[in-house]
Structure 1
Amino acid sequence: MTAAASALAAVRPSERQLIWQEMEFYGFIHFGMNTMTGREWGEGHDDPALFDPRDLDADQWVRALKAAGMSGVILTCKHHDGFCMWPSDATAYSVAASPWKDGKGDVVAEVADAARRHGLKFGVYLSPWDRTEASYGSGTGYDDFYVAQLTELLTRYGPVFSVWLDGANGEGPNGKRQTYDWERYYAVVRELQPDAVINVCGPDVRWCGNEAGETRPDEWSVVPRALQDAERTASRSQQADNGTFARLVRSDDQDLGSRAALTGHEDDLVWFPAEVNTSIRPGWFHHEAEDSQVRSVDELFTLYLRSVGGNSCFLLNVPPAADGRLHQADVDALAGLGRRITDFRARRIDATATVSSGTPGDIATVWPGRAKSSWRAGEDDTHPCVTLAFGRPSPVEAVVVGEDITQGQRVEHVVVRGALDGVWTTLAETGAVGYQRILTFPPTEVDTIAFQITAARDTPVLARVAAIGASS
């Protein structure tokens, strides 16, 4: 290994990033004034009397997300229209001014409490753009307002795993635009919720670059620090009030972290892993006309495999309807997805692991989960390889391989081969691995699978390998 390549492998995640990565799959709930008005981007100043979801059932929301296999939920506590889902002391434009529960309701509290009851982590989305607040565009005055609301959310509702910040930035009611004081916002999060990751327009978790659920062929967690620039992310995010952006796929910026892409940035790299976010429907908020356009279980499962199996986490939006309940079509799709994920995991084939050097640890028995003892190849191992022996022929249609990312992201190329009675064939190959790659291929009967690492930045350290049997 060259010194330059080893330096790339020396960049490591924080503890909060490690914990976030292991969550793998969690939900977004877009709900608010836009739900009542049928908009995606409300213009602000809508009458609070419009907000009256008489059958709101946060437990139904969270149960549906949990049934899909999710580990957390992020709520849109305030979208761009400025209407707050909690009774904020900083503005009168909130649920406290609505007829819902006679102005005594608090959607944020209900979702946070439901998440705890059902064992999910809770996160918050607070739009920096506010189309109602008079101080928007005033500079420090608006930053004071935003920080006051952020403080309320981070001190009233228990532990928060994520603060999700987008970069939408348009005119306020005064006709002015605001320059967001991102560093000040980050400092508040670090002080009040030090274990929370700050997503997208933040330093901890990177937007994958689209909202269609697409993933790069190779997703790298070690990237140039310049990618943390929130303004750059904002300029590439949604700019208009429509639902089509959620299905738009860009093809640029496909290589963010190969050795070639990092040339010249070796002294200014960060661990900045990717999140794949998309909606179960064309829009982010519920629209009755889209009730027949909920993504199918097959499509959702494919998105899951590509994201959770592509060194990313998967954030899936599921919007409740105006009555305060998820539509049955969404509930059914989530339940179907959960069954597919459970079945996929249950088809892991028991196997005995052997390695080309060192000891295998428990990498062949922990998936899904974290290894207690990873496999580190020997320093002089020129052909690092893990082999899984099944003891009998078995039809296989996928494999899982993951690095111990506490030691950085090291693997640059893996070839997966299968053997039946000593005859070998190539099943799959991939470049970057990182936390986890799930590789699928046509069902193939084999009795042995070998994971051959053909390129790495430093000595490979694997945390998991698994073979998934074909569905019957």
Structure 2
Amino acid sequence: MEFYGFIHFGMNTMTDREWGEGHDDPAAFDPAGLDADQWITALKSAGMTGVILTCKHHDGFCLWPSDVTTYTVASSPWRGGRGDVVAEVADAAWRHGLRFGIYLSPWDRTEASYGSGTAYDDFYVAQLTELLTRYGPVFSVWLDGANGEGPNGKRQVYDWERYYAVVRELQPDAVISVCGPDVRWCGNEAGDTRPDEWSVVPRALQDAERIADRSQQADDGTFARLVRSDDRDLGSRAALAGHEDDLVWYPAEVNTSIRPGWFHHPAEDAAVRSVDELFTIYLRAVGGNSGFLLNVPPDRDGRMPDTDVAVLERLGRRIEDFWARRIAATATVSSGTPGDVATAWLGGAGFAGAAGLARSLLAPGGGREPWRPDDADPRPGVTLAFARPRSVEAVVVCEDITQGQRIEHVVVRGRRAGRWTTLAAANAVGYQRILTFPPAEVDAVLVEVTETRDTPVVARVAAIEAAS
């Protein structure tokens, strides 16, 4: 899905808080202008493929009429007490072709049973069941481990395995993210990416309690821009040493907010991230074997602010323009059969991307099978030859991840006047690696796989022309 949205909205939006303490008067929730279609249209304009809604944050206020608590929209004046934000967002998402996901905070500062053990787990599972059975297909259940009450506060040991089992039973196609076994948190909320992101990692990284310990523990805005220097290498051979018989496929997700906070605050209206900054994060995340989850918070009236909407629209055009600048090329490979070449490279594999743009990474036509070089070839390569010299600023390489993640080093070279020069290099590739470099005038690009774990299986390769 590459790029999808987070929407933080709720009682905190009304009280101008990041972490509400719970027990705020439900009468404070009355977003008169709430327009879920406006939210989804804004996200879609940026090229997003899905949306995850904060159905309940740590304060415990529910954006749907839950049967197990009165602290919900049903107790508010909004829509005369008959409203359901979750239903409106889910319906709008499906109307506009986006997938719908849920965030349900395990921490609840209002619910009396929190900290009691099984009784609270029963309460949480009841709410999870409501969300997974009332609103259609769910693509993601996004869980974090925040618990900021401290050593003298309530302590609930979350029954993660029970929560996972409920998701598996009720929404078997949903991925369980962050404090879950399917999608891994990149380790910060700043949008920072690792130089090399590996999807194959030691099973110990799935430990939800470990992730919870590293989650935000206080209502502190600095956490959203905190980047740790540890855990920069999770999947190299050195990192996997001693774990070779206990590995899992646990791909990464990069999450950050378009503003300093996760909820809307009027004081941050002048601090919306620029298109340039967001596009850089996009290239590094979506182009670094990760999903990109960008939060965009509506205001207390229930609308996404004009500034945020304008940035999303410009970001979507920027992304679409990037993919539209892929260069038609004649492709040859250094190993494999001629039939492999014609099928794999002259018929690009199409996939959905920015703004729903179906982009084949090479000339249209032909098949969609990935290319697998000869097993004995120590340095397989793909050459993209252009009809004339072109100014190139990026090369895209994609593995067929149904076969795993195998490439450990790739080198990109450009040819000018018969001479080859190195333009870029990387280690991990995975689903997609976008290698950027200063624009270079070349008439061909060579992508060589110089180190692998087993024979590489390459799905797509493309060269991107420099912006004029």
Question: Would you call these one fold, judging by a TM-score over 0.5?
Answer: yes
Match of 1:437 in 2: 433
296, 302, 311: which one aligns with 2:280: 302
288, 291, 296: which one aligns with 2:266: 288
Match of 2:224 in 1: 246
What CA deviation, in whole Å up to 9, does each residue of 1:355-374 have, x standing for no partner?
Answer: 11112333462365588200
2:100 is the counterpart of 1:130: no
C-alpha deviation, 1:169, in angstroms: 2.0
Q: Matched residue of 1:339: which SS?
A: helix
2:148 is the counterpart of 1:152: no
368, 380, 386: which one aligns with 1:384: 380
320, 328, 331: which one aligns with 1:350: 328
Amino acid at match of 1:212: A
Q: Distance in 2 between matches of 1:449 and 1:406?
A: 26
Q: Distance in 2 between matches of 1:169 and 1:279?
A: 20
C-alpha deviation, 1:421, in angstroms: 2.7
C-alpha deviation, 1:251, in angstroms: 1.1
Q: Distance in 1 between matches of 2:320 and 2:154?
A: 50
TM-score normalized with structure 2 length: 0.94
2:411 is the counterpart of 1:415: yes
Q: Distance in 1 between matches of 2:253 and 2:379?
A: 32
Q: Distance in 2 between matches of 1:403 and 1:143?
A: 41
Q: Matched residue of 1:188: which SS?
A: helix
Q: 2:392–2:442: 8 Å Cα contact kept in structure 1?
A: yes
Q: Distance in 1 between matches of 2:261 and 2:206?
A: 27
Q: Distance in 2 between matches of 1:385 and 1:303?
A: 28
C-alpha deviation, 1:239, in angstroms: 1.3
C-alpha deviation, 1:171, in angstroms: 4.0
Q: Tell me the C-alpha RMSD between the 2 structures.
A: 1.3
2:263 is the counterpart of 1:267: no
178, 195, 206: which one aligns with 1:200: 178
Amino acid at match of 1:121: R
Amino acid at match of 2:379: H
Amino acid at match of 1:166: D
Q: 2:201–2:248: 8 Å Cα contact kept in structure 1?
A: yes
2:215 is the counterpart of 1:237: yes
Q: Matched residue of 1:83: which SS?
A: coil
List gaps (5 residues or longer) in structure 2. Answer: 353-359, 361-366
Q: 1:345–1:368: 8 Å Cα contact kept in structure 2?
A: no
Q: Distance in 2 between matches of 1:175 and 1:440?
A: 48
C-alpha deviation, 1:175, in angstroms: 4.3
Percent of aligned pairs with the same amino acid: 79
Amino acid at match of 1:366: A
2:384 is the counterpart of 1:401: no
1:201-216 equivalent positions in 2, closer than 5 A = 201-216=179-194
Q: Matched residue of 2:438: which SS?
A: strand
Amino acid at match of 2:344: D
TM-score normalized with structure 1 length: 0.94
Q: 1:244–1:283: 8 Å Cα contact kept in structure 2?
A: no
C-alpha deviation, 1:170, in angstroms: 3.9
What CA deviation, in whole Å up to 9, does each residue of 1:382-421 have, x standing for no partner?
Answer: 2110111112111000010010000000000000000023
51, 57, 61: which one aligns with 1:79: 57
Amino acid at match of 1:118: H
Q: 1:30–1:320: 8 Å Cα contact kept in structure 2?
A: yes
Match of 1:103 in 2: 81
1:159-198 equivalent positions in 2, closer than 5 A = 159-171=137-149, 175-198=153-176
Q: Distance in 1 between matches of 2:434 and 2:43?
A: 22
338, 346, 349: which one aligns with 1:366: 349
Q: Distance in 2 between matches of 1:124 and 1:383?
A: 44
2:304 is the counterpart of 1:326: yes
Q: Distance in 1 between matches of 2:350 and 2:10?
A: 38
Q: Distance in 1 between matches of 2:418 and 2:125?
A: 64
What CA deviation, in whole Å up to 9, does each residue of 1:138-189 have, x standing for no partner?
Answer: 10000000000000000000000000000012449x9421000000000000
Q: Distance in 2 between matches of 1:200 and 1:362?
A: 35
Amino acid at match of 2:424: A
List gaps (5 residues or longer) in structure 1. Answer: 1-22
Q: Matched residue of 1:253: which SS?
A: coil
Q: Distance in 2 between matches of 1:329 and 1:316?
A: 15
Q: Distance in 1 between matches of 2:155 and 2:127?
A: 19
Q: Distance in 2 between matches of 1:383 and 1:219?
A: 22
What CA deviation, in whole Å up to 9, does each residue of 1:4-23 have, x standing for no partner?
Answer: xxxxxxxxxxxxxxxxxxx0
Q: Select the structure with the greater relative contact order (CA < 8 A; seq sep ≥ 6).
A: 1
Q: Distance in 2 between matches of 1:445 and 1:175?
A: 62
Per the alignment, do residues 274 and 363 of structure 1 end up closer, same or farther by CA in structure 2, a change over 3 Å counting? farther
Equivalenced residues, count = 449
What CA deviation, in whole Å up to 9, does each residue of 1:222-256 have, x standing for no partner?
Answer: 00000000111111111111322121111110110
Q: Matched residue of 2:344: which SS?
A: coil
Per the alignment, do residues 387 and 153 of structure 1 end up closer, same or farther by CA in structure 2, a change over 3 Å counting? same
Q: 2:349–2:369: 8 Å Cα contact kept in structure 1?
A: no
Q: Matched residue of 1:244: which SS?
A: helix
Match of 1:16 in 2: none
C-alpha deviation, 1:39, in angstroms: 0.5
What CA deviation, in whole Å up to 9, does each residue of 1:263-321 have, x standing for no partner?
Answer: 10011100000000000000000000000000000001001000000000000000000
Q: Matched residue of 1:375: which SS?
A: coil
